[in-house]
């Protein structure tokens, strides 16, 4: 589990096709503190560490693999050498829950429609897959490329969020241009509430 609070921006340094796709990601995380088999959220997708090492005194790296299924249902298929990605280590007991509960299971891929300055902040509007829109509500939470954000407004197939300068500089949201894909994960609470409502509706039919 994760919180949607980004703690590093990694960079893809190698991509290797060997049945599945293996990515090497440079990071400021200390490789000595990363266990093989550990989970790291990479732009919102929970991936398993299968290798790790140190490039130099300041930079370490870890390897992850993504199956064809993962590449087809996330934005990982668009990663290239040099791609910057949001990173978050798995939540540990006693850690501060600064965002919201995030599973690291991507529900769909959306795209940026517009980015408009509002004071010192930015208003970002995204298009989301139709099947996700029922779970996106104003003032609710959503995870975009691994970042916990609050929804401001919702349209038929779009939603908007505001990001402050800190979020823009400390995540990859500032890298996005119109049309770029983003990994989306709906709020876990919204998912279960919708399931309960559907079950109640079925029982009352």
Residue 155 in any domain: the answer is yes
Which residues is 153 bridged to in the sheet? 160
Determine contact, residues 13/81, Cβ cutoff 8 Å. yes
Is the predicted pLDDT of residue 36 greater than 80, yes or no?
A: yes
Please report which residue ranges of the chain form alpha helices under DSSP H: 68-73, 165-170, 188-204
Number of domains in the chain: 2
* pTM exceeds cut of 0.85: yes
What pLDDT, in 10s, does the model give residues 65-120?
999 999 999 999 999 999 999 999 998 766 777 778 899 999 999 999 999 999 99
Pairing of strands 45-54, 39-42: antiparallel
**Rounded Cα–Cα distance for residues 191 and 186 (Å):** 7
d(CA 148, CA 25): 22
pLDDT band at 198 (very low <50, low <70, confident <90, very high): low
Residue with tokens 């668009």: 78
CATH code of the domain in which 136 resides: 2.40.30.20
Task: Give residue 145's domain range.
Answer: 108-195
Does residue 52 have a pLDDT over 70? yes
Asked if 112 and 181 sit in the same domain, the reply is yes
pLDDT at 76: 97
Do 48 and 119 share a domain, yes or no? no
pLDDT score for 57: 78
Span 13-34, pLDDT tens digits: 999 998 899 999 999 999 999 9
- How do residues 125-142 score in pLDDT, each as one tens digit? 999 999 999 899 999 999
Phi, psi of 63, deg, nearest 5: -110, 145
pLDDT at 100: 85
Average pLDDT over residues 144-164: 97
């Amino acid at each position: 589990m994760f919180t949607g609070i980004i703690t590093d921006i990694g960079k893809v340094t190698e991509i290797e096709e060997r049945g599945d796709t293996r990515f090497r990601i440079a990071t400021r995380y200390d490789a000595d503190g990363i266990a093989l088999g550990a989970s790291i959220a990479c732009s919102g997708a929970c991936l398993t560490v299968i290798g790790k090492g140190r490039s130099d005194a300041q930079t370490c790296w870890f390897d992850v693999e993504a199956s064809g299924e993962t590449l087809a249902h996330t934005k990982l298929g668009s990663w290239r050498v040099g791609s910057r990605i949001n990173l978050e280590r798995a939540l540990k007991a006693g850690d501060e829950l600064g965002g919201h509960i995030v599973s690291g299971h991507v529900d769909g891929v959306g795209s940026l429609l517009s980015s408009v300055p509002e004071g010192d902040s930015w208003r970002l509007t995204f298009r989301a897959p139709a099947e996700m829109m029922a779970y996106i509500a104003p003032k609710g939470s959503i995870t975009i490329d691994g970042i916990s954000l609050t929804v401001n407004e919702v349209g038929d197939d779009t939603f908007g969020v505001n990001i402050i300068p800190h979020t823009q500089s400390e995540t990859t949201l500032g890298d996005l241009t119109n049309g770029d894909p983003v990994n989306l994960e709906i709020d876990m609470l919204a998912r279960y509430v919708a399931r309960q409502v559907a079950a109640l509706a079925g029982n009352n039919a």
